[in-house]
């Protein structure tokens, strides 16, 4: 061998490559978290979603905030693609719950920002059900923020996402119907109402169906929401039928699964519907049921309904009526609870919640 030609040490090359591969694998192992940790975070986020109706909005806010921080901390610790994907989705779901809690607490700007955050997580993770849920939230937040024309746009856009099941479609059509109702677009509102009640493709998605809870849209919520839309259309009789249906569906559930949020709103809508048909005694009965809702569960949707009812009771044909005056005073008292738990929208604004 010529003395100027360098020798190639194959054994050393193999040994060096093996060490480098081992070091890289070790670094990768150090940049991951246990799958059990991811599983636990998933269970915790989903349990919070399913138990939303039994908690106060403030409790949901605190728990969702802590969970989102835990998810983020674990995202920072892992470089494993599958774990990153799972944790992105969980961060988005926690953000979506925070958005709903912020809305119930009356913080509309924060609710909008958090709903957009959830949508962004869904886009990054390529998880269409989360994007659709967040867009639906943006639709009803848009109304409360005074952006009436944006509400149906958000709902219609969400319906274009792929991979959605029937529950997601019902929710979005129902929100779309309410948005059109607020805009006074009767024909479009009725069309969306019909679509919300006729969706039946026997398809599901993981978020709205498998996780469910606050991410779902059970039949009682659909009936309650559509009662509100009927009120916007001035159809008191249809609103009464839908509100009664919502209350019947709530009552048929086991006690631990009955939502005071749905029953409270449905009772308020029932009272308003009866006022439209000049049934003050019937309205009083429904108001009594609404007034029984604990102050810790009086979120934005329920309180604004109470305010609208209070205003309806001051109509000229009811002035001087002892029952109307008494109910008005009690409704006014109903809306008085700690302001740190409820930042109220403008007086009398109709509810457009999901």
pLDDT in tens, 214-268: 999 999 999 999 999 999 999 999 999 999 999 999 999 998 888 888 999 999 9
- pLDDT at residue 347 in the model: 37
Q: Count Cα atoms within 13 angstroms, Cβ side, for 345.
A: 29
- pLDDT at residue 348 in the model: 40
pLDDT exceeds cutoff 50 at 131: yes
Q: Which CATH superfamily is domain 218-354 in?
A: Tetratricopeptide repeat domain (1.25.40.10)
Any idea which of 55-64, 88-97, 333-342 has the lowest mean pLDDT?
A: 333-342
Identical topology for domains 36-216 and 218-354: yes
Mean of all residue pLDDT scores within the chain:
89
SS3 percent helix, strand, coil of the chain, rounded to 5, is 75, 0, 25
Q: What CATH number has the domain spanning 36-216? A: 1.25.40.10
Residues 259/55, Cβ–Cβ less than 8 Å: no
Question: What average pLDDT does the segment 122-144 reach?
Answer: 96
d(CA 276, CA 92): 41
Question: What average pLDDT does the segment 122-147 reach?
Answer: 95
pTM: 0.86
Any idea which of 138-147, 150-159, 183-192 has the lowest mean pLDDT?
A: 138-147
Q: Which residues contact 107 (CB under 8 A, 6 or more apart)?
A: 343
d(CA 128, CA 167): 14
Residues 229/178, Cβ–Cβ less than 8 Å: yes
Q: Domain locations in the chain?
A: 36-216, 218-354
Which pLDDT band, with edges at 50, 70 and 90, does 24 fall under?
low
Per-residue b/e over 275-291, b at no fewer than 16 CB within 10 Å? bbeebbebbbebbebbb
pLDDT exceeds cutoff 50 at 100: yes
- pLDDT at residue 338 in the model: 40
| Burial (Cβ within 10 Å: 0-12, 13-18, ≥19) of residue 157 | middle
- pLDDT at residue 174 in the model: 97
Question: What average pLDDT does the segment 314-336 reach?
Answer: 88
Question: What average pLDDT does the segment 286-309 reach?
Answer: 89
- pLDDT at residue 30 in the model: 54
- pLDDT at residue 352 in the model: 39
Question: What average pLDDT does the segment 265-293 reach?
Answer: 94
d(CA 55, CA 246): 20
pLDDT exceeds cutoff 70 at 66: yes
d(CA 172, CA 41): 28
Residue 62 has a CB neighbour count (10 Å cut-off) of: 13
pLDDT exceeds cutoff 90 at 195: yes
Which pLDDT band, with edges at 50, 70 and 90, does 304 fall under?
confident
Q: Count Cα atoms within 13 angstroms, Cβ side, for 304.
A: 20
Any idea which of 130-139, 264-273, 298-307 has the lowest mean pLDDT?
A: 298-307
The closest of 160, 137, 151, 138 to 215, measured between CA atoms, is 137
The closest of 99, 47, 93 to 353, measured between CA atoms, is 99
133, 168, 177, 204, 249 from 165: Cα distances, Å: 12, 6, 18, 4, 22
Length of the chain: 354
Residues 53/262, Cβ–Cβ less than 8 Å: yes
């Amino acid at each position: 061998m010529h003395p100027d030609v360098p020798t190639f040490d194959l054994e050393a090359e193999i040994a060096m490559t093996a060490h480098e591969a081992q070091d890289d694998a070790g670094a990768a192992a150090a940049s991951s978290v246990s799958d059990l940790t991811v599983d636990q975070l998933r269970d915790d986020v989903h349990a919070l979603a399913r138990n939303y109706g039994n908690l106060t909005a403030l409790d949901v806010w605190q728990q969702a905030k802590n969970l989102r921080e835990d998810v983020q901390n674990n995202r920072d610790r892992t470089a494993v693609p599958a774990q990153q994907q799972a944790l992105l989705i969980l961060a988005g779901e926690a953000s979506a719950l925070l958005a709903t809690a912020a809305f119930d607490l009356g913080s509309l700007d924060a609710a909008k920002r958090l709903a957009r955050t959830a949508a962004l997580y869904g886009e990054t993770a390529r998880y269409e059900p989360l994007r659709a849920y967040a867009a639906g939230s943006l639709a009803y937040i848009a109304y409360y923020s005074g952006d009436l024309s944006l509400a149906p746009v958000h709902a219609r856009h969400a319906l274009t996402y792929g991979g959605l099941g029937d529950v997601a479609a019902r929710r979005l059509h129902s929100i779309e119907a309410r948005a059109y109702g607020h805009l006074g677009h009767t024909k479009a509102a009725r069309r969306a109402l019909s679509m919300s009640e006729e969706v039946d493709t026997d398809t599901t998605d993981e978020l709205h169906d498998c996780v469910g809870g606050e991410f779902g849209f059970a039949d009682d919520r659909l009936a309650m929401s559509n009662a509100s839309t009927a009120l916007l259309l001035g159809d008191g009789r249809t609103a009464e039928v839908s509100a009664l249906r919502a209350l019947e569906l709530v009552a048929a559930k086991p006690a631990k699964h009955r939502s005071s949020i749905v029953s409270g709103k449905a009772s308020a809508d029932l009272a308003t519907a009866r006022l439209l048909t000049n049934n003050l005694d019937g309205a009083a009965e429904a108001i009594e049921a609404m007034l029984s809702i604990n102050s810790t569960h009086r979120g934005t949707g329920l309180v604004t309904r109470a305010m609208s009812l209070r205003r309806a009771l001051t109509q000229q044909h009811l002035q001087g009526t002892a029952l109307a005056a008494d109910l008005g005073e009690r409704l006014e008292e109903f809306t008085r609870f700690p302001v740190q738990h409820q930042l109220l929208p403008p007086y009398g604004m109709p509810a457009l919640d999901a």
